[in-house]
A and B are shown apart, each in its own frame.
Chain A
Amino acid sequence: QQQVKQSPQSLIVQKGGISIINCAYENTAFDYFPWYQQFPGKGPALLIAIRPDVSEKKEGRFTISFNKSAKQFSLHIMDSQPGDSATYFCAKIIAAGTYKYIFGTGTRLKVLA
């Protein structure tokens, strides 16, 4: 069973600070790595996604960077805001040609005002 190792489990950041969440994969051979954001009482929603042939992707204050040698992705939230307080999940496709994801265990982020 493939695994996605996500860290940290929880994170507290001051408003305006940088939040960093890491995900390590056993296999980066497949072509889609989405990150989801989940607010309390809601379902997860796609935040940003990246392909492993791209070293970095930025959307607004959210950036994913890829460390190929470490097989690790990192989500950076710049200028973190209290509205960013949520749980973040990374995910990967289990095998090429399938539509199944395996998710990380989640990071609960709290941004202090």
Chain B
Amino acid sequence: NAGVTQTPKFRVLKTGQSMTLLCAQDMNHEYMYWYRQDPGMGLRLIHYSVGEGTTAKGEVPDGYNVSRLKKQNFLLGLESAAPPQTSVYFCASSHGGGRAGTQYFGPGTRLLVL
């Protein structure tokens, strides 16, 4: 099992450009999440999904969109990148919530917006 994989690993964008980050999991998990990690800020939830075809806003959703067309994939889109979106982005998935909700993280995507 590959677990949670993320594509790409690293990307540089110019302000105003768009891009899509891809997350894939092979654990048949229902729930998937996108976080951003910034120094001194911990992990902040951007968007999440509780099943195929569903998405919901997290703590810091502005400037991002997501889609979950297939159970195993969760896409994070930046329509018009801005320098404050420079961050490391992590995708995670879980089987359920509460005590069954151990989240498994991908290796991250480092994004630099110039």
Q: Which of A's residues lie within 8 Å of B, judged by CB?
A: 1, 6, 9, 30-32, 34, 36, 41-46, 49, 51, 89, 93, 97-106
Contact = CB atoms under 8 A, between A and B. Distances in A.
Contacts of B108: 41-43
Nearest to B99: A32
B48 A100 contact: yes
Contacts of A46: 102-104
Most buried by A among B58, B99, B103: B103
B40 A99 contact: no
Q: Indicate the size class of the contact surface on chain B.
A: 20 to 34
B90 A43 contact: yes
A98 B97 contact: yes
A91 to B, nearest CB: 8
Given A31-B98, A93-B97, A99-B50, 19 more contacts: A1-B59, A32-B98, A42-B108, A43-B4, A43-B92, A44-B105, A46-B103, A46-B104, A49-B99, A89-B42, A98-B97, A99-B31, A99-B96, A99-B101, A100-B45, A100-B48, A103-B44, A105-B42, A106-B42
